[in-house]
Structure 1
């Protein structure tokens, strides 16, 4: 498996076709969106060919940097931090987050980052807003220093007015402040077929891979947005916020993973089709490793054998 990091989850027009070609030639033909705002390529048969195949594509980087997909400023700052942290040595799996002020990225509990509100940036440390305010022109420098274990002494504390964290993906028709439209789209298990990825390039606007393994297609006129829904909904993109698939996730399970005790995705599909999941977030795992486990409270189905599961209620990360 190859992990492709994106600056704030943003994929520029023209990139999707390249990624689809790489997935089809070297992998399983699909782009797997991750909960860290990136893309995974699975089933890579020739790892040595991968760097050359991806040359020139706007993917890579050393750390995961996620941003509120509906905040242009958060996305811009995520790109700045993505570049600034390229040479910074952080612990493996450190998550950098830029929250646009709605609490969506705070709900992902990033290790480091910023929450933007009222024209200021508040430092996030260990998944919580710290009350320390940072000037916009020193965001990258401060985060690099904090990542090294040093909080600059000149930072001032304030009472945070940030909203309570939210955890759901933005789905459907989303009005932008400039009169254009964004479309939020979910995917079953975060899997994007190469054919559909190519169509995103045809649209020709930036697309965000969100921290919920979904997509936000930006900067559309209303007529174009309507056409996008008509074409892509039948191909698997989910624009209905009531879809049960928006609250179901799963690890890859067997046969793709040698640890998997059951084909969890097939089992999840059967459970959704039969209406057997009840309410709330649900996650299927094929073994005790818990891959892909959500940070929010959820019902966990852990395979104990082929088609057999142990069901557990798992609290949210900050509730533990």
Structure 2
């Protein structure tokens, strides 16, 4: 099971000296394997009709695959330079594009299992969808970067651990906490005011970034002399008619990502499906769409690159659903070799990558299991690496990989499958050695 995040996993402050170049569905990115489109999926929620539209776009314009990102969005790769407005028109017709100015303000995650395990927690997806309507109606919000992250957590602490810029955490008695970045203090508001409070928190960030003159994309990039404080956020919320009080420094919960899971013996559980490395062929994706139609008719894409399929009123046909998903090469059983294994695009899709990291991951996945997550990176940028957990870091170099595990010094590992598998299995399963410099 992944361990809670530590201070060492936080990003270092960065001062940006250029504008945001993150791709979207309208502004494509030129990759080595063709153009890339990144489609915003607020709260990760897709109807089966919208999910089918994504598959159609991948087949018609792309390479026949869909990639789930670490922000719960979906990427189309391999688009031709001359595809024109075709992908955007198809996505727009399916309701997958907001106003053009808002389509790259896209990172809105919510607890994927919210509402599927009883009514003792608030509905985080409803918060997120209400918030998205407010966001897309706000002209000022278009100044947010494509990396700014909003998280709506039902109180268990899963998406709250992803290092969001604005976090809404559900609490008891119809209340919620709002926090900016990794600040210790939080603000307490009524749950019904949480979406509007989150938008006002983002406006506070934009105002501060403008005063600081840093062109910061994230809260963590603001300089120390321009901090965001709970007191100022409260002042702004009160001025907007939202009752808010200082919650002090609450203890924040932590919950690991949902593990792959089948329907249960009674057929009434949510299906938690993992496409290996977060990448699915359109045929695999359509299997998920077909199964979802037997349930509630929706797919919930997660920031851990999985897909949750909520059950419908009737139980799942357990045997047929399980066989259909697993026969498609998708992971449904817990503790499989692909659980907690992620990778960047790598070669041949990325010119900066020094290795075909996905091929290397596939070559050793059965021999390198362990409880710690692992992320394969083709270069030092570590695109898509895990957040909110301790993880094993593999970074490709000219002659192999640099492997770093929590509590251990980094070391070089040759890129042969045998040596990689042995080193990675050890790093994922063996507890870190005690530091001799620390006295007991």
TM-score by length of 1: 0.89
- By how many angstroms is 1:186 displaced? 1.1
Q: Does 1:66 align with 2:109?
A: yes
* Two-structure CA RMSD over aligned residues (Å): 2.3
Query: In 2 relative to 1, CA 310–147 (structure 1 residues): closer, same or farther, beyond 3 Å?
Result: same
Query: Which shows bigger deviation, 158-167 or 17-26?
Result: 158-167
- By how many angstroms is 1:36 displaced? 0.4
1: CA distance, partners of 2:280 / 2:184: 33
2: CA distance, partners of 1:147 / 1:139: 12
Decide which of 294, 308, 314 is 2:386's aligned counterpart: 294
Query: In 2 relative to 1, CA 200–278 (structure 1 residues): closer, same or farther, beyond 3 Å?
Result: closer
Contact 1:98–1:105 (CA under 8 A) maintained in structure 2:
yes
- By how many angstroms is 1:160 displaced? 7.1
Contact 2:262–2:322 (CA under 8 A) maintained in structure 1:
no
- By how many angstroms is 1:207 displaced? 1.0
Aligned to 2:16: none
Q: Does 1:157 align with 2:246?
A: yes
- By how many angstroms is 1:4 displaced? 0.7
2: CA distance, partners of 1:96 / 1:159: 21
Query: In 2 relative to 1, CA 32–217 (structure 1 residues): closer, same or farther, beyond 3 Å?
Result: same
Q: Does 1:112 align with 2:166?
A: yes
Q: Does 1:311 align with 2:414?
A: no
1: CA distance, partners of 2:43 / 2:354: 35
Which blocks of at least 5 consecutive residues in structure 2 are unaligned? 1-35, 98-102, 116-122, 205-231, 239-243, 408-440
Q: Does 1:76 align with 2:76?
A: no
Decide which of 45, 54, 68 is 1:33's aligned counterpart: 68
Aligned to 1:268: 361
Query: Which shows bigger deviation, 141-150 or 35-44?
Result: 141-150
Aligned to 2:321: 228
2: CA distance, partners of 1:234 / 1:34: 24
2: CA distance, partners of 1:183 / 1:272: 23
Aligned to 2:340: 247
1: CA distance, partners of 2:110 / 2:283: 26
Q: Does 1:183 align with 2:271?
A: yes
Q: What are the within-5 Å matches in structure 2 for residues 19-58 of structure 1? A: 19-45=54-80, 46-58=83-95
- Superposed CA offset, 1:218-259 (max 9, x none): 123333354322201121221112012112111111111111
2: CA distance, partners of 1:95 / 1:106: 10
Corresponding residue SS for 2:130? helix
2: CA distance, partners of 1:41 / 1:127: 32
Number of paired residues?
310
2: CA distance, partners of 1:70 / 1:160: 26
- Greater fraction of residues in strand: 1
Query: In 2 relative to 1, CA 47–251 (structure 1 residues): closer, same or farther, beyond 3 Å?
Result: farther
Which blocks of at least 5 consecutive residues in structure 1 are unaligned? 316-320
